[in-house]
Structure 1
Amino acid sequence: MADFSVKKIDQMETTFGGGLSKARAELGVTSVGMSILTMPAGYDRYPDHDHTHDEQEEVYIVLAGSGVLTIEGEEFALDGETMARVGPSTKRKVVAGPDGIRLLVLGGVPGEAYQPPEWGELGSADPMAG
């Protein structure tokens, strides 16, 4: 039997207040972290953060819309023609453009097998739920 999975993004389970779709878990991907970050127009509350705690690098790929990725204080326009990789210790923040933004976010620890976080599993509690 063929080994594949197909699912519409809008039908995927979400976390972090509905802004992050659990694409990795929904598709059964085991080799890399993968989620869909969806933010409405002008959304600027995505946290400035790094991944020194888990040593994960991330790749951002725009699926729809536009925005700005700030890396260590330097701003980069994000659109359908731009991809970005950010290392674990580097601070990054995404702000949605006037049409909102939907990003495919890939992550993993360089040179290591992927270990999914608990919040990324289907049926897990939303860390932002009260």
Structure 2
Amino acid sequence: MSHALVDYHDVDPVGGGLHFLRDSLGCEKLGVSVLDVEAGWSGKAHDHADDGQEEVYVLVEGAATATVDGETVTMSAGDALRVDPAATRQLDAEESSLFVIAGAP
């Protein structure tokens, strides 16, 4: 098939609001996720040094703070943030927020 369509609401969330769409969409190299969280949510600090995955976080709705290698980045709806694979990153939602996250090696 030349396309795939999935509603992220139909994909069981992990980590409190993270919907991994890669398998549902049949993506081999591109990781695509939707993060739909309430105000006060805080993600786990992590990196992708082992898998070499560069990520882009697009904040569709809400307000959030990303901490990248100790640097605080304030995000508003419409902002996109690229993070290198080896950089440690953590997201914190100041208000209910909706992100689309894309990652690829």
Tell me the TM-score normalised to structure 1 length: 0.70
Compute the displacement of 1:25 (Å).
1.7
* Identity score, percent: 29
Where does structure 1 lack aligned partners over 5 or more consecutive residues?
Answer: 110-130
Contact map agreement 1:13 1:26 (CA 8 A) in 2: no
Aligned to 1:11: 10
Q: Give the root-mean-square deviation of aligned CA atoms.
A: 1.8
| Matched residue type, 1:5 | A
Compute the displacement of 1:21 (Å).
0.7
More strand by share: 2
Count of residue correspondences? 105
Deviations 1:19-56 (A, max 9, x none): 21121222222331111122210112x11221112221
Cα distance in 1 for partners of 2:50, 2:72 equals 24
Where does structure 2 lack aligned partners over 5 or more consecutive residues?
Answer: none
Compute the displacement of 1:96 (Å).
0.4
Name the larger-Rg structure.
Answer: 1
- Is the counterpart of residue 104 in structure 1 residue 103 in structure 2? no
Question: Structure 1 segments of 4 or more deviating over 6 A?
Answer: none
Deviations 1:70-92 (A, max 9, x none): 11222112222210111111111
- Is the counterpart of residue 42 in structure 1 residue 21 in structure 2? no
- Is the counterpart of residue 31 in structure 1 residue 29 in structure 2? yes
Contact map agreement 1:39 1:101 (CA 8 A) in 2: yes
| Matched residue type, 2:11 | M
Helix, strand or coil for the counterpart of 1:25? helix
- Of residues 2-11 and 60-69 in structure 1, the stretch that sits farther from structure 2 once superposed is 2-11
Contact map agreement 2:22 2:33 (CA 8 A) in 1: yes
Match of 1:94 among 88, 91, 96: 91
Tell me the TM-score normalised to structure 2 length: 0.84
Contact map agreement 1:70 1:76 (CA 8 A) in 2: yes
